[in-house]
Amino acid sequence: MAITVSNLTKFYGDEKAIDDISFEVKTGEILGFLGPNGAGKTTTMKIITCYMPATSGSVTVDHVNIADHSLAVRKKIGYLPELNPLYLDMNVVEYLEYAAQLHGLEKSRINHQLKEMIEVCGLHDVKHKDIGELSKGYRQRVGLAQAMIHDPDVLILDEPTSGLDPNQIIEIRNLIRQLGRAKTVILSTHILPEVQATCDRVVIINEGKIVADGTPDQLQQDFQGSELLIIELKASVPNGLEEILPKIKSHNGVVSAEYQPIGDGLHRFAVRLNQGNDIRENIFRQAVAEGWVVLEMHRKVTSLEEVFHKLTMAPADKNEKYAPAVH
Amino acid sequence: MTSNFKNVMPIFLKELRSYFNSAVAYVVIVVFLAIVGWFFTSDLFLMNIASLRMMFEIIPAVFLFVIPAITMRLLSEEKKSGTIELLTTKPLTDAEIIAGKFLAAWALVGIALIPTLLYYITISFLGNVDNGPVIGGYVGLLLMAGVYVAIGIFASSLTDNQVVAFILGFVFVFALYMLDKILYYLPGWLASTVEFLGIDYHLSNISRGIIDTRDIIYFFSALLFSLYLSVLSLQRRNW
């Protein structure tokens, strides 16, 4: 059940919330929708779930246009809105039954789905409690159970882990991974590790525009630009700056190298390389030949966090040259 | 505005159950019985007539504040808590959502009216009651309640604050109730139109036991018009 978003634009009054965005989600994919608060994630989700129409552009779910066949599309979508609204005065079973009835499920199917959701989402101990009495973690599970009660092909989850403690976040993430296996999932978040932990693909959105689209690994590579290699050597030479640095610089692909003496015959180098150059083996052989002892050698890879920061920085900082931080 | 009854039913049942799960239903029923009972007994023996006229006169006034209280949370609470987003992304039309909520609140008013039959039974032991006005009275009250509930739902659809919804609902139904009582201040050419728009005028017609199509049409058009406005108001998110 693929989702195609084409040239979607939404105005709130004069304010442009999303600006001509297009992306695709393939069947069975978990797409992470990433962006700072107010970037347009929720607006996009509200449009896909038929809560409100777009100003222009279109969305198709399984090749069906959502504007023309709104009711049919809604049957296929399970939606967990932002902040997980719930009827606090209903108990868990009542609420899930209600959600199932609104989806038009038959009585026998409701009972079956209800049992399954209580089982899968781990709601057995609280199923007769009022939702208002439940902890935030349980409420989130109820929200997820509600979104999946009719076994939809598409799941739209708006910040499913916001406000949870770290243990609950891991639980909910696992649940999404487990449930998302057979479904097409779009989940929004502004928490980066979440994307790396759960998503097959990432779309980064900023100020209503898509600024990146790819797998988490791809994005890391694409935005890496250059790599950093940190080398620490033990060598009994009086002046590392003059005797070792030029030798390291002579390798292919080295853009620049910095030297930092640590004393006691220890020398530290930070070598910036063009992307795709791996000189570690050469360094090792050189060290053996020269009689240096390699104490440490590692590459610094750009984290997704840095990619995100780079892409969604305030406009004033946008021209600043991107450089991975050296720790 | 097509509605599928199968979609309306779950909302109707959920709202009705929630009235009885919270104290709302019981408070409404008790308040109703108490106020009506007070007016019913206070001058029954004074007048010494076996009639429910007094009761039928006081209930419309009680409706003025009881019905907006019943309807105030129906949509405003969903808006405030955000559950409106759940409801409107389910495969339901907006008209079905409004219809389910309308029927639940209307049913509650109907249920609250049932105990007042006790007064009818009491009176029929005491003397000969003319049944025409009683039947007409109840039909009229139910129709009036339907209009008030529809207006109350419209008021509730305008805001996410229950108190504001209550006050708006009260103002709207009060205005409708007062229309035929301000005729004195109006120029003659306007008076008959305004009188026809006033709800109490039509209620008093029906309460006499004469069921006229003009009155029935009035009630149903006021009711449907208010529900239509509620649907439009719910669809404001699309603008």
For chain A, give every domain's residue range: 3-222, 226-300
Cβ-based contacts of B22 with chain A (< 8 Å): 89
Lowest-pLDDT range of A15-19, A126-130, A241-245, A282-286? A241-245
Position B233 scores a pLDDT of 93
Alpha-carbon distance B201 to nearest alpha carbon in chain A (angstroms):
40
The alpha carbon torsion through A255, A261, A267, A273 (nearest 10 deg) reads -10
Task: Judge: B91–A102 Cβ closer than 8 Å, yes or no.
Answer: yes
pLDDT > 70 fraction of chain A, expressed in percent and rounded: 92
Backbone angles phi, psi at A10, to 5 degrees: -140, 130
Count: domains in chain B: 1
Give bridge partners of residue A156 from the DSSP assignment. Answer: A79, A186
Closest-CA residue of A relative to B97 is A102
Task: Judge: B6–A104 Cβ closer than 8 Å, yes or no.
Answer: yes
Whether B2 maps to a domain, the answer reads no
Task: Judge: A49–B89 Cβ closer than 8 Å, yes or no.
Answer: yes
Whether B101 maps to a domain, the answer reads yes
Give bridge partners of residue A201 from the DSSP assignment. Answer: A31
Q: Which domain holds residue B158?
A: 7-238
Q: Between β-strands A254-263 and A77-80, what pairing exists: parallel, antiparallel or unpaired? A: unpaired
Q: Which CATH class is domain A3-222?
A: alpha beta
Position A325 scores a pLDDT of 41
Q: Which of B17, B21, B89 sits opposite A51 (nearest CB)?
A: B89
Q: Between β-strands A254-263 and A209-214, what pairing exists: parallel, antiparallel or unpaired? A: unpaired
Position A314 scores a pLDDT of 52
Q: Between β-strands A30-34 and A184-189, what pairing exists: parallel, antiparallel or unpaired? A: parallel
Whether B122 maps to a domain, the answer reads yes
Position A236 scores a pLDDT of 81
Closest-CA residue of B relative to A72 is B91
Q: Between β-strands A56-61 and A3-12, what pairing exists: parallel, antiparallel or unpaired? A: antiparallel
Give the mean pLDDT of A138-160.
Answer: 91
**Of residues A297, A268, A264, the one with CA closest to residue A280:** A297
Q: Mean pLDDT over all residues of chain A? A: 84
Give the mean pLDDT of A257-271.
Answer: 82
Give the mean pLDDT of A21-43.
Answer: 89
Alpha-carbon distance B231 to nearest alpha carbon in chain A (angstroms):
15
Distances (CA, A) of A5 to A26, A58, B90, B154: 11, 6, 21, 35
Task: Judge: A99–B90 Cβ closer than 8 Å, yes or no.
Answer: yes
Greater model confidence, A96 or B53: A96
Task: Judge: A98–B93 Cβ closer than 8 Å, yes or no.
Answer: no
Spatial separation of the C-alpha atoms in residues B82 and A308, rounded to whole Å: 30
Indicate whether A324 pLDDT > 80. Answer: no
Position A235 scores a pLDDT of 83
Position A139 scores a pLDDT of 92
Position A223 scores a pLDDT of 65
Whether B1 maps to a domain, the answer reads no
Give the mean pLDDT of A94-108.
Answer: 93
Residues of A with CB under 8 A from a CB of B: 46, 49-53, 71-72, 74-75, 77, 79, 81-83, 85-90, 94, 98-99, 101-104, 146
Position B167 scores a pLDDT of 97
Position A113 scores a pLDDT of 93
Distances (CA, A) of B222 to B68, B197, B208, B217: 16, 9, 21, 8
Predicted confidence band of residue A318 (pLDDT cuts 50, 70, 90): very low
Q: Which of B80, B89, B94 to mutate to test the interface with A (most CBs of A within 10 A)?
A: B89
> In this structure, are residues A147 and A157 in contact, taking their beta carbons and an 8 Å threshold?
yes
Task: Judge: A102–B92 Cβ closer than 8 Å, yes or no.
Answer: yes
Position A321 scores a pLDDT of 38
Give the mean pLDDT of A5-19.
Answer: 90
**Of residues A269, A236, A232, A239, the one with CA closest to residue A254:** A269
Cβ-based contacts of A101 with chain B (< 8 Å): 9-10
Assign domain A226-300 to its CATH superfamily: ACT domain (3.30.70.260)
Predicted confidence band of residue A322 (pLDDT cuts 50, 70, 90): very low
Beta-sheet strand order (sheet of A30-34):
A77-80, A154-158, A184-189, A30-34, A201-206, A209-214
Q: Is B50 exposed, middle or buried (0-12, 13-18, 19+ CB in 10 A)?
A: middle
Q: Between β-strands A266-274 and A226-234, what pairing exists: parallel, antiparallel or unpaired? A: antiparallel
**Of residues A76, A70, A139, the one with CA closest to residue A104:** A76
Position B2 scores a pLDDT of 53
Position A134 scores a pLDDT of 93
Cβ-based contacts of B91 with chain A (< 8 Å): 71-72, 74-75, 102-104
Position B24 scores a pLDDT of 86
Q: Between β-strands A15-25 and A3-12, what pairing exists: parallel, antiparallel or unpaired? A: antiparallel
Indicate whether A47 pLDDT > 60. Answer: yes
Closest-CA residue of B relative to A73 is B91
Task: Judge: B18–A83 Cβ closer than 8 Å, yes or no.
Answer: no
Cβ-based contacts of A79 with chain B (< 8 Å): 85-86, 89
> In this structure, are residues A210 and A22 in contact, taking their beta carbons and an 8 Å threshold?
yes
pLDDT beneath 50: ranges in chain B: 1
Spatial separation of the C-alpha atoms in residues B239 and B235, rounded to whole Å: 7
Whether B15 maps to a domain, the answer reads yes
A230-261: pLDDT as tens digits: 888 888 877 777 778 888 888 887 878 888 87
Task: Judge: A52–B237 Cβ closer than 8 Å, yes or no.
Answer: yes
Lowest-pLDDT range of A76-85, A220-229, B7-16, B197-206? A220-229
Predicted confidence band of residue A226 (pLDDT cuts 50, 70, 90): low
Position B50 scores a pLDDT of 66
Predicted confidence band of residue A302 (pLDDT cuts 50, 70, 90): low
Cβ-based contacts of A94 with chain B (< 8 Å): 17
Alpha helices by DSSP H, B82-198: 83-88, 94-113, 117-126, 131-157, 162-178, 188-197
Q: Which of B83, B88, B93 sits opposite A87 (nearest CB)?
A: B83
Residues 6 or more apart whose Cβ sits within 8 Å of residue B1: B93, B95, B228, B231
Task: Judge: B86–A104 Cβ closer than 8 Å, yes or no.
Answer: no
Predicted confidence band of residue A272 (pLDDT cuts 50, 70, 90): confident
Indicate whether A78 pLDDT > 90. Answer: yes
Q: Which of B24, B86, B238 to mutate to test the interface with A (most CBs of A within 10 A)?
A: B86
User: Which residue is it, tokens 């030949």?
Assistant: A289
Indicate whether A317 pLDDT > 90. Answer: no
